Amino acid sequence: EAGVTQFPSHSVIEKGQTVTLRCDPISGHDNLYWYRRVMGKEIKFLLHFVKESKQDESGMPNNRFLAERTGGTYSTLKVQPAELEDSGVYFCASSRIQGGVNEQYFGPGTRLTVT
């Protein structure tokens, strides 16, 4: 079974530019989450999709961030325009819909550097 994949692995952009991150969850996983880790800090929740619907977007920092999951498969996270404080590692995770263990499987992350 393939794991969660993320693209690109690393992106360097200038302040004011736009970047789109992509996440492909594990096949059959209806839950998809976006998290972010700013250097040295905790991994912070951004957004949770259940299939194509946004279940919880309480962690989205501001309206410069837009997440989509059309068709309930892969997801994109767009940052427009990017600011210096957006730099960090963006993780995507997925899990099955279930009443048991909330075992989220994480991708390798996209390291975003805004200069």
Which stretches of the chain bind another protein, using CB under 8 A?
4, 31, 33, 35, 40-45, 48, 50, 55-56, 59, 91, 93, 95, 97-109
Task: Output the smallest distance, CB 47 to another protein, in A.
Answer: 9
Task: Output the smallest distance, CB 81 to another protein, in A.
Answer: 26
Closest to 34 measured CA to CA, from 70, 80, 68, 82: 68
Task: Output the smallest distance, CB 90 to another protein, in A.
Answer: 11
What is the C-alpha separation between 72 and 91, in angstroms, rounded? 18
Residue number, 13 or 43, with CB nearest to another protein: 43
Size of the chain, expressed as the number of residues it contains: 115
Task: Output the smallest distance, CB 14 to another protein, in A.
Answer: 24
Residue number, 41 or 70, with CB nearest to another protein: 41
Residue number, 17 or 87, with CB nearest to another protein: 87
Residue number, 68 or 106, with CB nearest to another protein: 106
What is the C-alpha separation between 32 and 93, in angstroms, rounded? 6
